[in-house]
Structures are given as structure tokens and as C-alpha cells.
Structure 1
């Protein structure tokens, strides 16, 4: 039939082709003018009426916040703008989308790896549609996890950021993760019970340094044990950060997989006192890296700065530990060795907390409480009471 006499409702148009015409509907969604063809429909009054009703249904759903573009137009090029929120409205889609966003932001490789682990850990939620994820479902998921509270919080943080995209897309009005507090359903004690402080004894420290074999390894270990720096901070320490006159090291950065970034917290940026042993390690290290005017410690096999904690562990720490005949611990125990040595000597806990990059001594008490009890003859008992009961400090 001819189409010239067909009355077209508002928003419904015809596109002429060589052999036939196509019904198109036009509407505005999220400020974008959208024109979609109904190619499967012949041009006749009945189908034009259907197009008018379809357009009304779309506007009604848009008004209610229930419009899903992909459900109506799964092959539309507009999905590049609005996202494939048909199948894509599943949690998996938003996790993948957010991971892609993070990669474009040039976040550190270790952060990206951590996010990928979070995504895998959230696999039980992948097939749930974003609009169907409720606080009750999240609560049950938290209760079923076997990891520590800190890990669960990290995973939920990743999920929260991912679902912020669903809020932006209009798929959900409120991010359900923001309504759930993990600590309400998991005990903090479960995290503390997994935390192992296993410092080296004085004899083990001596054995480790003697077994290092490579002088640069020995300098690195000696400095770590006497300053409490994290491995990532050791990797980023530069000669310009050392003040030999004032016997101070300025800790501002950390190196993760070769990428230098600032410390995570304000307290992490700090001035660390250098004792005789730490200064001896630096003076011995000058012969290897001082003229390069860059980083203090390097991988002697490559002549390049250490890429990160894992590189130190694999290349230097593990061989030295084995050669020394010491029971294995990870390199982070040099930090615990530093802390427990000072506690045993009755160090001021507020000073020790500042040296380690903590906001206050509460963290020390949490991790080293048993050592404080063991050495309570040396440690200031009033400080211990302040740590246990901060509200009584005004006395």
C-alpha cells in the first residue's frame, strides 16, 4: 500500500529506501536524541500504531527509571553510549567495566592485580543483575566468606566503586554496598588471629647478615632491621632522602612493581632516625649506588633499583634465609624485628609509632601486645595504659 497518506504520530517517522520504507521512532534518553528503526515491521497503519504505543511505553519506563536500552534495542549502536545493560546489567559487567576504567587511569600493576583478585573473589555475585542485588544478599555473602575482615572490606570497596557506574547508568537508584557494613557480620578478631608477628632473634639477625653473601644484600637487610622500613619503602629510598648530618631518612614514597608512588597515609610520610647500624649500612652502600645519585638500594645482578618487595624476597631474602639455616619468615618480619627490639629496650611508644608510620601507638599494642607484656619491666606502663584506655590519658 502507499504510505503518503499515512498519518504519523509525533516521534514516529518513515525512512525511505530504494525498495521500501522503514518505520523509525525518535525519543530523548539521558539528554541524547535517539532514533531507532523498527526494521522488522511493514509500513501500515497497524504497525504505525504499534510504534506509537512502543514509544509511549519507552517514555513511561524512562520516567519511572526502569528503561533498559538493550532490552528494546540489543543491536543498537547507541549501546556504545549507554552500555550493554541488557545482559550487561549483571554484576559481572560492572566489575569488568570498572576494571577497564582503572586500567585507563594508569594505576600501579599491583593495584590492578589486586582488583582482578577482588573480581574473582566476587564470583558468586557475577550472574546477579545489578538491579536485583539487595543488602540482604550482600549480608549473606559476607557471612559465607572465609577470609579476614580486611580482605572482605577490600572486595566490597571494589564492588561499591563498580556499582557506582550502575547508579550513573540509571540501572539502580542507590548503591546497595553503601548500605552494608561488613564488620556488623564479621568479627575483627578473626583478622587479628591470622596476623603473625614472628621477629628474628638477635642470633638470627647475625646469622642472616653473615649469610647474605652479597654486600648489597647485607646492607639492605641491616638497614631494614634498624629502621623498620617496609620493603616497598626501601625500594623507593633515594640518596636525596638521607640527611647524614641530622641522622635522618625521609620516607615519602614506595615502589610497587617498579612504579614509584607516595605512601598511602599521611602518617606514612615520616622522618626516621638513623642509628649507628643504619648509618653503617648506608656508608657501605655508597660504594655501589651513591654516584648514580638516585636510589640507595639496587639489585646487584641487574644494577637497577629493586622493582618491589617481591623481587627482594625472591632474589635476596629467600637465598640468604636458606644459607643462614633460619626458619623461614617473609621479609616484612624485619619491620617486626625493629619494633620488638625497641619495645624490649623500653622505647617510648609514641616515638616508635611515628618511626613506623602509624598514627599512634594503638597499632603497636594490637600487633605487639604480648611483647609489651613480656618486657613490661622496661616499657612505660603509663603509656601502655594510655594505649589500652585512651580516655584515661588526661589524668
Structure 2
């Protein structure tokens, strides 16, 4: 409980006058007012003695403050420059977008790796350039953000635009939380709908062409097979080590990813947690062959970045390594997304397959699994999604919701579990056919 306002010595008339003006009170020897700002009760002393004229003045000042807050023009530093609540308020109110973006990156950099910070900076630079680095943040409107979004969508690939918008969304939310603006700008930075960025998976025929005509080395055959039959992200595929593969159990564990700068970092999952991928037979055999190909390599202690300032050390042998195919002695032991992209591009060209981003191998796994009526929750977990909502949004076209074969499969499983069907003729109760 705070200290009660001191009104000792006031006449009955002054006390009655103060009671008529909510938000005005006596504190010690002077008047003060209180009001709600950003959900908190703020009290400010006016340094005025409690007289009839001063009480009316205090009531008028409070009314003006409340009005300014209501219409969004209140600036704490201008109304009460000496107040502790005004600390930094004027700076925030007059902050320019470019300055705020630099401050955001400075604070965000503590929790992310250097490579991730670089991608954040690229995205924020595009956002700030579109909106104007000298724009006062407090004057930014949702309409400005919508215009920026339209520019990004029109000038960049869907995946790139969505990455920029995701970064912008976090930045705008941070601006509001920290008092730079009262506007909900993040809502206007909505990412592009999933149906506008539909996957373009490889067909079974194209996959055969990649293997038989595009791949010139057994390592390429095994690597492309793992990519298509696991749905690993390119960086995760490049970051696999022999220590991650459990051939007896038929699985591998995703523990790290490789950046374009040849640095290892924790994977793109919540809190960087490992995830287990259960291997389909083609992927299991591919993992076995890759393990044999890299068995001659010596283990190496490498740092794996957890954040920009934290890392762990692991002793590893890469599962997929350029040294297996290299002719020159000095070469990186690990592929990175850039070198993997270049390799797959050459494979597609030799195979005569229409060009796609190598990331489409991940979409291929998802689409093939869904077409085969795989369990949504299982597929989502394999791919590293927190739930299957992303599958429904992105791969809706590959989820066959009206299949007689699927109905027959479900009934067969029910019968295996002892399903009872009293209304069906006896001769059909043991058969899976749907009448």
C-alpha cells in the first residue's frame, strides 16, 4: 500500500472541492494528479499549494492529460520533463525507424547466432529501406506497413518475402512493447498465404532421372535419396554426422545445421532441441552407404553455436563430405547450403529435370508421405514442425480427404482391432470391402 495523501490542515471547503475532482489529491504540502498510462497508475506532483484556484488548475491539467492519452498525442517528457516516468520517453517518441532497427538488432543479437543475425539484418534493411530510415516511428501507420508488404511481395520470391515479413512482425511487436508506438503494426505485416506459395515437389519419374542420369558419384545418389526420403532442410542435411545415425534402430538424430559461412549451429526447432527421424528403407540404406564412405575420415572437434555468444564442442565425422569426391587436398570437410544448392542444380541440369530450389526435396517428402496417407502428426514431427497445422495449410492439395481406398484401410484396421458390425451380413463382416 502506498502512503495516503496528506490533507491535514485543509479547510472543509478545500476538502470538499478536491472530492469533486477525481484524480486530484493532496500529497504532503502540494497537489498532485494521477492518471492511467500504458495500463499503470501514474502520479505526478504539480508543486502547487492546495488553494481553490490551484485545485481547479490541477483538475483542468489532469483532464488535458487524459484527453491527450485518449487521442494518442500524450508525450510524458513534454508534460512532466522532470518525472522518473519520463525517462527515455522523449527519445522513444522522436526515434527514427533506422535507429530503432539498430537497437532491436543489438538486443536480439544476444539470443541468436551470428549467421541468423546476418539474415535478420538483411530482412530489416529491406523493411527500413521501403518505409524510410528517417521516418519517425511514432508516425508509422498500419497502412504504411501494408504498402511495404505489397512492395516486398511484388519484388521478391514468396519464401524471401515471407522471411522478411516474419522478421518485420517481430520488430514491430518489439516497437509497441517498448513504447515506440501505440499502433499494432505487426498485424499489418501478415505473411503471404500458404496457397500463394504452393510446393513444387519432384515426381517419382523425376526422382529416378535425378538418380540415374544426374548423379555421377555414389555419394550424390545417397545424399539425394536421404534428402527426398527424410524431408531434412538443406542445412540440416549438410550438418549430419556419422554419430547421428543409428543403423540398428533405423533412425537418425538432427542435432545441428550448417550455415552458408560453414559454421555449425543448433537446428531450427524450438529451443534448438534434437529431433529423431525414423528412416524409410531407401533412406536407411542411403545412410548406411554414406557411413561407409566416410569411415576413413578422422573425428574432428568442432564448435556448434547455441547463440551468438555461446557454443558447445562436439567431436564428429561428417556423414556427407566434399572430401569423398574431392581431387584437391585442401577442401572443406562439410557441405553448406550454398555448395549443396550448386551440386543439386548441376544434378538437375544433367538429368534434364525442370529446375527447382533444392529445398523442394523437403516438400517432396511431405507430399509423397501425405499422398501415401501418412499420419499427419508423425509427418509433422519428422519435419520438425511443432504441430500438423502447417501441413494442412501448405500441403492441403496432397491430403486426399475423400478416398474410398482410405475408407477401406480404416475399416480394415478397425476389424483387426475387433470392430463389431451387427447390421452387416455375416459373410461380409470379415471382409474390408465397402458396400
When normalised by structure 1's length, the TM-score is 0.64
**CA contact under 8 A between 1:108 and 1:259: conserved in structure 2?**
no
1:295 aligns with 2:318: yes
Instruction: Check whether the contact 2:318–2:334 (CA below 8 A) recurs between aligned residues.
Output: yes
How much has 1:247 moved relative to structure 2?
Answer: 0.3
Give the corresponding residue for 1:222: 225
Match for residue 203 of structure 1?
Answer: 205
The alpha-carbon deviation at position 112 of structure 1 amounts to: 1.4
Q: Offset at 1:138?
A: 3.0
Within 2, Cα distance between the matches of 1:114 and 1:226? 31
Shift of 1:318: 0.7
Q: CA RMSD in A?
A: 3.6
Shift of 1:327: 0.5
On the 8 A contact 1:199/1:334 being kept in 2, the answer is: yes
- The 8 Å contact of residues 176 and 184 in structure 2, kept in 1 or not, is answered as no
Q: Does 1:304 align with 2:333?
A: yes
1:342 aligns with 2:347: no
User: SS of 1:305's equivalent?
Assistant: coil
Q: How does 1:63-74 map to 2 (within 5 A)?
A: 63=83
Segments of 5+ residues of structure 2 without an aligned counterpart are 1-76, 154-160, 300-316, 411-435
Give the Å deviation of 1:68. Answer: 8.0
- Contact 1:119 / 1:155 at 8 angstroms: preserved in 2? no
Summarize the Cα distance change of 1:369–1:283 in structure 2 as closer, same or farther, 3 Å threshold.
same
Q: Report 1:2-13 matches (<5 A).
A: none
Q: CA deviation at 1:207?
A: 0.7
Q: Does 1:280 align with 2:285?
A: yes
Number of aligned residue pairs? 296
My pick for the range that moved more, 137-146 or 231-240, is: 137-146
TM-score (norm 2): 0.59
Distance 2:186 2:104 in 1: 22
Match of 2:388 in 1: 361
Q: 2:165 aligns with which of 137, 145, 152?
A: 152
Q: Relative to structure 1, is the Cα distance of residues 67 and 361 closer, same or farther in structure 2, using a 3 angstrom cutoff?
A: closer
* Counterpart contact for 2:172–2:186, Cα < 8 Å: no
**Residues 369 and 291 of structure 1: CA distance in aligned 2, closer, same or farther (over 3 Å):** same
Q: Which segment is superposed worse, 298-307 or 247-256?
A: 298-307
What is the Cα deviation at residue 342 of structure 1?
1.9
Equivalences for residues 1-395 of structure 1 within 5 A? 61-63=81-83, 89-100=95-106, 107-123=113-129, 124-130=131-137, 133-134=138-139, 137-144=140-147, 145-146=149-150, 147=153, 151-161=164-174, 167=178, 174-176=179-181, 179-180=183-184, 182-183=186-187, 185=188, 190-210=192-212, 211-257=214-260, 258-266=262-270, 269-292=274-297, 293=299, 294-299=317-322, 300-301=325-326, 302-307=331-336, 309-314=337-342, 316-373=343-400, 376-379=403-406
Shift of 1:303: 4.8
Deviations 1:48-69 (A, max 9, x none): xxxxxxxxx9996232766889
Q: Unpaired segments of 5 or more residues in structure 1?
A: 1-56, 72-84, 168-173, 384-395
Question: Given the superposition, is the C-alpha separation of residues 318 and 182 from structure 1 closer, same or farther in structure 2, using an over 3 Å criterion?
Answer: same
- The SS at the match of 2:81 is helix
SS in 2 for 1:200: coil
Hey, what's the Cα distance between the residues in 2 that align with 1:196 and 1:231?
A: 19
Is contact 1:317-1:331 (8 Å) kept? Answer: yes
